[in-house]
Amino acid sequence: MAKTKTKRSTKATAPLTTRTSLDAKGHREIYRYMLLTRRLEEKLGNLYRQGKVVGGLYRSLGQEATAVASAYALGPDDFLAPMIRNLGSMLVRGVQPVEMMRQYMAKGDGPTLGKDLNNHFGDVAGRHLIAPISVLGSLVPVMAGIALGGRMRGDSIVALTYLGDGGISTGEFHEGMNFAAVNKLALVLVAENNGFAYSTPTANQMAVDSLVDRAAGYGVACEQVDGNDALAVYEASCRAVERGRAGEGPTFIEAITFRMKGHAEHDDQRYVPKELLEKWAAKDPLDRFRATLLDRKILTSEDFEAMEVEMRAELDAAQDLAEQSPPAPPERALEGVYYDTPRARDPRPRIL
């Protein structure tokens, strides 16, 4: 049963040669989170096609290594803010698949009680997650503020967030990056250069060749990594986290990767040349990391099979649970705007 699922071109995929301090457990966990990201998103894709997802679905296919391995470099006290293609980073912080499913289906017991969509949820006190907003770049100054607040409270924390090649065209990115640099804040910005911002190629976002060229002017440490090499992303992120913790200021990491799906599920990405997709399919981050784990004898083919079987059961159970969840009661729409006001006024007119 599991045989057909795992049929893939691993023979053609060379193992990574990246040197790393990561132990065997770390290798296994990063791979597992990457696989869980992919399988969970596939599951969400099924729910989307069944009309059960409310609104759009945004995939990170081909970018799983960037999200997972960067988040894996953080300590438990550090803070993370994902963007839309960083579902994997949330799993690393402890988000459960059932939460993501409830959120995508607008369930009343989802993490935002049905009030916001996709991965727009956070958990400051517990998992140190800051919820994203749809406006690109906005998390950069906010995470600079997380780092500032942490420093003022005497906590040695690092704040990590993400942005794409499109998002770094925003003023929010510029202002936030500069603010973090001037104040030497422990901010790690993982900039995913994934080729396209919706339909706009990177060449139309900027006149320089790479994102690090753009970031260098802020006076922050810059690194460029292969975003489809989980170990390279992990190592660069560890260096950035150490720099931040040592008070040496922000780091800008450009992760070169590729968006293997459209902007969202509705988008067939016909504007992306086929050759590009073929080229990047051969660099699939899961295939490469799997080959590495086999090569380093950390996991066997049987282990991968078992992981798939276990994960499928876990996700099926999560789906059953999520589908049983009720929608939000309509009048909850009025609740929670202010701390000291339980409900907004019902706007339906009444003659007083």
Partner 1 sequence: MGSKTTYLEAIRQGLMEEMRRDPAVFLLGQDIGTYGGAFKVTEGLLEEFGAQRVLDTPIAETAIVGAAIGASMMGMRPVAEFQFLDFMGNAWNMINNFAARNRYRWGQGVPIVLRGPCGGGVHGGPFHSQNPEVYYAHTPGLKVVAPATAYDAKGLIKAAIRDEDPVIFLEHKFLYRRIKEELPEEDYVVPIGKAATRRQGGDLAIITYGAMLYKALEAADELAKEGVECEVLDLRSLLPLDEEAILQVTKNAGKVLVVHEDTRTGGLAGEVMALINEGAWEYLDAPPLRLTAPDTPVPYGPSMEEFFLPGTGDIMDAARQLVAY
Q: Where in the sequence numbering do the catalytic residues fall?
A: 259, 263, 271
Q: Of 60 and 112, which has the nearer Cβ to partner 1?
A: 112
Q: Of 215 and 293, which has the nearer Cβ to partner 1?
A: 215
From the list 20-28, 42-50, 114-122, 308-316, the region that binds partner 1 by CB under 8 A is 114-122
Q: Could you tell me the smallest distance in angstroms from the CB atom of residue 170 to partner 1?
A: 9
Instruction: For residue 174, report the phi and psi dihedrals to the nearest 5 degrees.
Output: -60, -50
Q: Is 142 in the site for partner 1 (CB under 8 A)?
A: yes
The four Cα atoms 181, 186, 190, 191 give a dihedral, to 10 degrees, of -10
Q: Could you tell me the smallest distance in angstroms from the CB atom of residue 337 to partner 1?
A: 5
Q: Could you tell me the smallest distance in angstroms from the CB atom of residue 127 to partner 1?
A: 12
Q: Is 331 in the site for partner 1 (CB under 8 A)?
A: no
Size of the site for partner 1 (CB under 8 A): 46
From the list 44-52, 233-241, 301-309, 330-338, the region that binds partner 1 by CB under 8 A is 330-338
Q: Is 244 in the site for partner 1 (CB under 8 A)?
A: no
Q: Is 158 in the site for partner 1 (CB under 8 A)?
A: no
Of 88, 49, 51, whose CA–CA distance to 230 is shortest? Answer: 88
Q: Is 171 in the site for partner 1 (CB under 8 A)?
A: yes
Q: Which amino acid is residue 183, in one-letter code?
A: N
Q: Is 88 in the site for partner 1 (CB under 8 A)?
A: no
Q: Of 48 and 179, which has the nearer Cβ to partner 1?
A: 179
Among 28, 120, 239, 312, binds partner 1 (CB under 8 A): 120
| Site residues (CB under 8 A) for partner 1, limited to 247-306 | none
Integer CA distances (angstroms), 171 to 134, 188, 198, 275, in order: 15, 18, 18, 33
Q: Is 148 in the site for partner 1 (CB under 8 A)?
A: yes
Among 54, 56, 127, 133, binds partner 1 (CB under 8 A): 133
Which residues of the shown chain bind partner 1 in the complex (CB under 8 A)?
A: 111-112, 115-116, 120-122, 124, 130-131, 133-135, 138, 140-150, 152-153, 155, 159, 171-172, 175-176, 178-179, 182-183, 336-341, 344, 349, 352
